[in-house]
Amino acid sequence: MASMNEPAPNTAASPAHQAQDESKPTSSMPDITQLSLEHNPDIFTIVCCNDSFQLAFDHSTIKALLRVCKRAQSLLSSKVPRFLTWCQKAGFCRPDGQMRIGLTPSDQVALSLHCDDQETADRSWLEDQAEQGTAAASYIMAKILQLDLDQDQVKWSEKEATKQQIFHHLENAAEAQHPMAQFHLAKGYHDGNGFNQSPAKAVELYLSLAERGIPQAQISLGQSYENGEGVDQDFNAAIEWYSKAADQSSEDGRLHIVFLRGWFSFIGHGVEQSDVDAFNRWQEVSTQSTDPVIKPIATHMVGWMHYLGRGTQQDKQKGIKIIRENRSNEFPFGEDECLLAGWESISSDSSAARKLFQVCQLGSDRDWLCRHLMAVCLVNGFGTTPDWEKAAGIFEQLANEGHSDSQLWIGDCYRCDKGVSMDEPKAFEWFSKSADQGNSYGQWMVGSCYLNEWGVIRDYSKAVEWNRKSAELGNRYAQGDLGYCYQYGRGVPQDIDSAVFWYRKSANQGFEYTIDKLKSLGGWP
């Protein structure tokens, strides 16, 4: 069966079928009781396993229908399982037996016609069929090569050539009207990974598939309109295409609409501004979506809403935890990169990073948090080109408006010479303004200034005072520094038990530094 990540095509995958039945609508289903048993098996199976059946029947139903023909019965009882066994030997199945490479029932039947028993799971027969123009073979070869790339099974010197092979196979299959090949070819043109990037070509292919009713293509076309890639940005057109997918019971299409409308509510774009509506919509996307772009962004924003108490009851620790645990390799935008100014920065050009920067730009003239996050993206090079000077200008403006998180960030800009000339006393001034508003990171940074003599005379007692305030609010970094002060007697009498107490509070929140400290003291786990 097709992978959940593959489009569910509703048109014939075989030119042979199209040539025999061009006068009929592609969505019409043949009356298999009237088919001659003398039909060539290849054409018979392509007709009966026309990919349009997937919209109406599952694989079991198709098999039951095909049993009308004795030839098809023997084919399904031997050759398809043989092909699936080959896939398992070749390493194209997960431990649960599901294929890593999504194939439609008609792909499986078409390929099984050419699959003989082999002692070794080589690809020679498949490569041969691809070169002979078998669309399903070309498509699966492209997927196999992509899997090799994803699993780092291709030498660095051969990666570009492999990408070109993928393009070659997808293009051949797409020209033979293989819908999934057309979809992945469009993605290649969109992403430009091994392709000559062309968002306009991607849109052209997406539109062709979307008009044929393929939900994944409708969603991709909606994203093109939403992002202004290959077409002029048009949110109404984006929602229209998402709606077409949702009308076919596509949960992904529906949740894209929910995500977008969450942002519209948050910034008051075309609707009344409502933090509650934005929070509820993002919460729904966060808990129900599997999309690698909108899910992490929605979850990140849910964290901020808890942290700030917007649209829901304020719970700073819950918000911080959500933001921290939402961080991933695909979305490296957690606590250290976003809440904790200057502690750690990481650039990213992922689709999720670019999307976050785009939606923050959209609301930058309407909501301070959008401007603040846009500046954080500019500092990190997250979804955009780094621009510390522009970021510092935004932070300072927001800091002057009284936003404690921006005061923290502009303070770190002055401390670390980011976009402004280094000025540690001024950094301390901004950290203090943030701390006085109860910002735990600002309090910790004031403590750090006293501990490290940044812009102020070293004063261990004041370092302990400010770190304690922050630590009692649950800040894991201040808890670690307070533990340090107790361990080494900085500003307080030396007390290993108290050091372990605070180290453990910090370590329980996953701070590696304090975990190592506890291990050295024999207190972890």
In the structure, what pLDDT confidence band is assigned to residue 56 with cuts at 50, 70 and 90?
very low
For residue 108, give the nearest of 215, 3, 213 by alpha carbon: 3
To 5 degrees, how large is the angle CA 246–CA 248–CA 253?
A: 25
Give the model confidence (pLDDT) of 3-49 as tens digits.
Answer: 334 444 433 333 333 333 333 333 333 343 333 333 344 434 444 55
Q: Given a cut of 80, is residue 111 above it in pLDDT?
A: no
Q: Are 106 and 45 in contact (CB under 8 A)?
A: yes
In the structure, what pLDDT confidence band is assigned to residue 192 with cuts at 50, 70 and 90?
confident
pLDDT of residue 332: 93
pLDDT of residue 46: 44
pLDDT of residue 437: 97
pLDDT of residue 129: 82
pLDDT of residue 274: 98
pLDDT of residue 357: 96
SS (H, E, C) 160-228: HHHHHHHHHHHHHHHHCCCHHHHHHHHHHHHHCCCCCCCHHHHHHHHHHHHHCCCHHHHHHHHHHHHHC
Mean pLDDT of all residues in the chain? 84
Task: Report d(CA 204, CA 505) in Å as an integer.
Answer: 55
pLDDT of residue 266: 98
Token couple for 176: 């033979």
pLDDT of residue 373: 97
Non-local (6+) Cβ contacts of 281 within 8 A are 258, 259, 261, 262, 265, 298
pLDDT of residue 493: 97
Q: What is the CATH number of domain 448-525?
A: 1.25.40.10
pLDDT of residue 69: 55
Token couple for 368: 């301070």
Read off the pLDDT of each residue in 252-264 and give the average, rounded to a whole number. Answer: 97
Q: Given a cut of 60, is residue 55 above it in pLDDT?
A: no
Helix or strand or coil: residue 409? Answer: helix
pLDDT of residue 11: 36
**Cut 0.85: pTM above it:** no
The ranges assigned to domains in the chain are: 15-194, 198-249, 269-366, 448-525
Read off the pLDDT of each residue in 225-243 and give the average, rounded to a whole number. Answer: 96
Residue 509: half-sphere exposure toward Cβ, Cα within 13 Å: 22
Torsion angle in degrees (nearest 10) through CA of 477, 352, 297, 322: -30
pLDDT of residue 5: 41
pLDDT of residue 341: 80
Read off the pLDDT of each residue in 444-469 and give the average, rounded to a whole number. Answer: 97
Give the model confidence (pLDDT) of 383-435 as tens digits.
Answer: 999 999 999 999 999 999 999 999 999 999 999 999 999 999 999 999 999 99
Read off the pLDDT of each residue in 296-305 and give the average, rounded to a whole number. Answer: 98
pLDDT of residue 334: 94
Give the model confidence (pLDDT) of 301-348 as tens digits.
Answer: 999 999 999 999 999 999 999 999 999 988 999 999 999 886 666 889
Q: Given a cut of 70, is residue 256 above it in pLDDT?
A: yes
pLDDT of residue 74: 53
Q: Are 263 and 278 in contact (CB under 8 A)?
A: yes
In the structure, what pLDDT confidence band is assigned to residue 157 with cuts at 50, 70 and 90?
confident
Q: Given a cut of 80, is residue 482 above it in pLDDT?
A: yes
pLDDT of residue 144: 83
pLDDT of residue 72: 54
pLDDT of residue 124: 79
Q: Are 368 and 395 in contact (CB under 8 A)?
A: no
In the structure, what pLDDT confidence band is assigned to residue 62 with cuts at 50, 70 and 90?
low
